[in-house]
Amino acid sequence: VAAAALLAACGSGGQIGDSGGSAPTAVKKMVLIPGVAAEPFYISMECGFREAAKAAGYEVDVQAPAKFDAPLQIPIVTGVLANKPGAVLIAPTDDKALAGPMKQLKDAGVKVVEVDTKLQDTSIAESSISSNNAQGGKKAAETLARLVGDKQGSVLVLNTKAGTSTTDARAKGFEDAIKAFPNLKYLGQQYTDNEPDQAASKVTATLSSDPDLIGVFATNLNTGEGAATGLRNAGKTGAVNLVGFDASPKQVQDLQAGVVQALIAQDPATIGKTGVEQAVAAIEGKEVKRNIETDLVAITKTDAAGSERYFYKQAC
Ligand code: T6T
């Protein structure tokens, strides 16, 4: 309690002195708030975060909501504020709803770094680290078009939740790029609330309403895993080309099994590591880079061997 009170009283930087009168001990703290708990993308990000924070001499805490849901994430942000760490790395689950709580952190002197998703308001975070998601959507469209070749048919985008900066950018990148392929009729996007079951049932419903469905772009891990289930349930694996985003162990397994034809994989561990580097620079008053992009790669079954470094982890 005494340490927490001292920490709360000591202003920015997260450094506190020892109250015992002996030599002062520096406590440097950093918190990661992922978009959702126990999910391979954020687990891999956490691994990069932990390794880099340890190397920089920071104590870490990771607090994630049970679902990718702003009302569940907001109390975590306000709770973290009470302990006043030097920095908070956060993947905001909504590009507007998290602005108020994140501004409270900034106003209290906590350095805020966005990892993966970001707010529309660019005045709060010191730095934002993410994949180029619009380019990822474009890569998905071009990969899907290449897989389909000259065949004619309809294509569907399965998105997560409106207001998620990353997946919205992926859907937009896909929509813009698919126009270059007149043999493919774009059916538009459907939201799934980031629930695999909804993604599965939307795929089977679309197969009934549009039997010429030839391709699906699933904008993230849960929609991709759910879409694969939908195609399995309908007996359409392989007949419909499924391009997913992310590379969870299950998605990679589905790629090897021919249920998924391509994955656009990110580099979440590097997002976590780079987030720490920027946070430390901000705390130390050094130069901070406002926007940083990390790698994206399209992986198909034939080039999966050699791309292992992009496969996400279940544990560090
Ligand atoms: O695709 C990632 C992440 O980039 C996105 O912002 C939310 O979904 C994931 O975490 C995967 O589930």
pLDDT digits (tens, 9 = 90+) for 121-169: 999 999 999 999 999 999 999 999 999 999 999 999 999 999 999 999 9
CA–CA gap between residue 60 and residue 157 (Å, rounded):
37
CA–CA gap between residue 269 and residue 308 (Å, rounded):
13
Q: Judge if the beta carbon of residue 277 lies within 6 A of ligand 1.
A: no
Interval 59-107: pLDDT, tens: 999 999 999 999 999 999 999 999 899 999 999 999 999 999 999 999 9
Distance of CA 102 to CAs 37, 78, 265, Å? 19, 8, 28
Q: Judge if the beta carbon of residue 312 lies within 6 A of ligand 1.
A: no
Residue 2 pLDDT greater than 80, yes or no: no
Say if residue 29 is exposed, middle or buried (CB neighbours under 10 Å; 0-12, 13-18, 19+): buried
Residue located via tokens 């709770």:
79
CA–CA gap between residue 41 and residue 46 (Å, rounded):
9
Pocket test for ligand 1, best of 32, 117, 166 (most atoms within 8 A of CB): 166
Q: Judge if the beta carbon of residue 252 lies within 6 A of ligand 1.
A: no
Residue 250's CB is within 10 A of a number of other CB atoms, namely 17
Q: Judge if the beta carbon of residue 191 lies within 6 A of ligand 1.
A: no
Pocket test for ligand 1, best of 41, 250, 312 (most atoms within 8 A of CB): 41
CA–CA gap between residue 75 and residue 81 (Å, rounded):
10
Residue located via tokens 């034809």:
261
CA–CA gap between residue 314 and residue 245 (Å, rounded):
17
Collapsing DSSP to helix, strand or coil, 298 comes out as strand
Atom 7 in ligand 1: residue holding the nearest Cα: 220
Alpha carbon of 223 to ligand 1 centroid (Å): 10
ipTM of model over 0.95? yes
Residues 6+ apart with CB under 8 A from 166: 116, 117, 130, 131, 133, 220
pTM over 0.90: yes
CA–CA gap between residue 219 and residue 292 (Å, rounded):
21
Q: Judge if the beta carbon of residue 221 lies within 6 A of ligand 1.
A: yes
Amino acid at 50: R
